[in-house]
Every structure is written in C-alpha cells, then in structure tokens.
Amino acid sequence: MQSEQAIENYLHTGAAARTSASEVITIPVVIHVVHNRADKVIGGAGNGNISDAQIQSQIDVLNEDYGNTSGYKGYYTDSLGVDTGIRFKLVSVVRTYNATSQFSPITDADELANISPAWFTNRYLNIWVTRLNDRYLGTSQFPVVTELNDRTAGLATSENGEADALTDGVIIDFRYFGRNSDAITSRIYNLGRTTTHEVGHWLGLIHIWGDSTCGTDYCDDTPTANTKNETTDLSCSPVYSQCGGTVMTRNMIENYMDYSPDVCMSIFTNDQKARMHAVLALSPRRAKMVEYSQFSTTELLVELYPNPVRETLTTNVFTPNFENYTVSVYNQKGQKVTEDAVNRSYLNVRNFPSGLYYYKVETANKTITKRFVVR
C-alpha cells in the first residue's frame, strides 16, 4: 500500500506539474537491438547485434545535439542554435535474435514491436535498431496532441490509442546508428544524426521544407526551403531557395530536420525547441513521460493493477535512477510459475489457475513482493 500511495501522491501534487521550457527534461531510453546473428556475437562489421559502445555513442550524440554542444559549425549555428533543454538517459539494452534479414520501417513496426515488445511508451522512448530494407535510414511515430495551436499545428489529435501505444517510438537501421563503429557503413550518414532527426519527429518536428515545395514546418525561424537537401556534398556548400517572391534565401542545411549529410548538421532553433516542449505538454504519452521522469525516489516502488485480475496484470515500477529490476511470480505453494524477466511491465494471466499469487520485484539492493489475485 505504501508504494501505491507514494505514486498516487506524486501524480496528484505539484511535483507532477508540466515542466516549463526553461527546465531540462531527461527522457529515459530503451534500445531494442533486433538482429539475425544466431551465434549472439556482439559488434563488428556488418553485425546487426551492435556493440554497447556503439549504442552509448548514439546517446552521447543525442545529448550533444539536443544540448547544442556538438561543436559542428555552420552559417546559422552561432546565431540561431539553441539548447533544447532535452536530454536522454540510456536505461536498458534489449537484445533479441530473429532470423529475418531485414525489415520495412513502413509496414513492419507491429512485427518489430512483437519481436521485442516496447517498454511502457508513456514512460520510455523505445528505439528499435535493426536492418532496414531499400534505402531507409529510419522512421518514427509522430506524437498525437490534445490541442492544436501555433506550436502543435500539423499534428494529429486522434489515434488508435491501444495499437499505437505498442509501436510508439523510433526505428533506425543499425548501419546509421551512433558513430565511430565498424557497423556503420555510410560516409554520409555516419555521425548519429539519423537518430537525432527521427527523435525530432517523435517530439513533433516536421522537415524544414514542410514535405512539399516551399512548405512549412510551422517554425518561423527556419527559412522556407524549396525541397530537402539530399546530397553527398560533404563540404556543406550553401543551398538557396526562392519561395513566394523574387529574393533568394539561404536554406538552413545545418538543421537536424533536413536531409543533409551528418557532418553538416548542427542546429535546432528556438521555435523548434518551443514546439518540442509544447508537444511534451500536450501529447498524452509524452506528458506522462515527463511526469514520471521527474519522479525521483530512493526507494523501490511497485504498483499492480487491476487486482484482482482476469487477463493482463499491469505494473508500474519505479527504481532509483531508472535502475533495472527483475520480476518473478510464485503461487501459494511457493512454486515459481514464470521465468525471471527483466523490467517486466505486463503479465498475461489468462492461463493461470484462479487463486493467490506473489509478484516479486528485485533490484541489486532492494526487494518488494506484492500479492495479486487471479479470478
């Protein structure tokens, strides 16, 4: 009861208030590595079972790019580049073998989520890293918002919530994930900016050319562009557009939401920052994530619901500093009825005989056991 009460008190006090754009928000990240290496070897050229170092390099890139500390310079960088006030923390890496050689980011999101189920998408940013088909580098699921305004224009206000919650996140080809790794094959997209770009979409940003000729991304401080800057020019030569008049304007090829080579990218603008923070406030799953990310505790807190349960038991578990935990389930006789699972969020009890069970949650230093009833 104390755990549930602590969570309830948190969610109904000022501590759960929406974060202002001036505060730093830390987003916990789960990386799902879906690979076809039956031998489970990790790392190396052409290996989709990428190394921990490659994964950490991508988290480093995200924090540099969203913190405006990448060090890369461009025409607009010094004058318009901002710290977005958003940071990323690697919580866990889930490695899953699957014999499929490659996936479509357009049609296989459900399959990837079935192979490696998402952790709570209102608690974590889930990133699936695998081999993609055709020329795809990555994709992401746009947020759905409860209100359309100047900062959230262009986004949807409704969705298939139950289904979309299972696939909410980002999918990246392992050959473009992170930097300085043998598994990265491109000389154009080799510094981790594909993930920076796709996470930008996950936070509600639109391509700077607005996905149409001289379209809008709803950010006034990104110059209107005729089209995407999809080029192999590593010298980052200026590109110009003529939209709505006779004056030529210089494209913001440095912007992470263009298609420029990674080496050319170095900027999010203040309007893009404002849009991302508006999404973090007005997208239900993103807003809940912000609330949970601010929940600081030195204790292990566990909430089970519904209880009694007939089909699926859901758990809210809070650990200090997002520490991993292990779940095991026992019956009244003390017999273990499930295999130990790391960071389990759901438990299917449809085939459990009716009765009393014990749900044991363990971290390195703490253990809590909760009772639940299957009817």
Alpha helices in 1-81 (DSSP H): 2-11, 52-66, 77-80
Altogether, the residues listed in the chain come to a count of 375
Q: Which pLDDT does position 20 carry in this prediction?
A: 53
pTM of the shown model: 0.87
Q: Which amino acid is at 266?
A: S
Non-local (6+) Cβ contacts of 233 within 8 A are 261
Q: Do strands 125-130 and 170-173 pair parallel, antiparallel, or not at all (unpaired)?
A: parallel
Alpha helices in 77-149 (DSSP H): 77-80, 109-115
- 230 catalytically annotated: no
Digit-by-digit pLDDT tens for the chain (375 residues) are: 454 555 455 445 544 444 454 689 999 999 999 999 999 999 999 999 999 999 999 999 999 999 999 988 788 888 899 999 999 999 999 999 999 999 998 999 999 999 999 988 999 999 999 999 988 999 999 999 999 999 999 999 998 877 899 999 999 999 999 998 999 999 999 999 999 999 999 999 999 999 999 999 999 999 999 999 999 999 999 999 999 877 889 999 999 999 999 999 999 999 999 999 999 999 999 999 999 888 878 889 999 999 999 999 988 888 888 888 999 999 999 999 999 988 888 899 999 999 999 999 999 999 999 999 999
Non-local (6+) Cβ contacts of 17 within 8 A are none
Q: Which amino acid is at 145?
A: V
Q: Which pLDDT does position 293 carry in this prediction?
A: 86
Alpha helices in the chain (DSSP H): 2-11, 52-66, 77-80, 109-115, 161-167, 193-202, 270-282, 284-293
CA of 145: how far to CAs of 257, 279, 287, 352, in Å?
Answer: 20, 7, 10, 38
Give the orientation angle of helix 284-293 with respect to helix 270-282, to 10 degrees: 90
**Residue 8: is it exposed, middle or buried by C-beta count within 10 angstroms (0-12/13-18/19+)?**
exposed
Which helix or strand (DSSP H or E) is residue 31 part of? strand 25-35
Q: Which pLDDT does position 9 carry in this prediction?
A: 59
Q: Which pLDDT does position 188 carry in this prediction?
A: 96
List 23, 159, 198, 299, catalytic entry: 198
Of residues 25, 18, 271, the one with CA closest to residue 125 = 25
Q: Which pLDDT does position 5 carry in this prediction?
A: 58
**Residue 149: is it exposed, middle or buried by C-beta count within 10 angstroms (0-12/13-18/19+)?**
exposed
Q: Which pLDDT does position 182 carry in this prediction?
A: 93
Which helix or strand (DSSP H or E) is residue 215 part of? none
Q: Which pLDDT does position 16 carry in this prediction?
A: 42
> CA-CA distance, 1 to 372, in Å (whole number)?
12
CA of 329: how far to CAs of 313, 347, 357, 367, 371, in Å?
Answer: 12, 10, 7, 13, 10
Cβ neighbours of 230 (radius 10 Å): 10
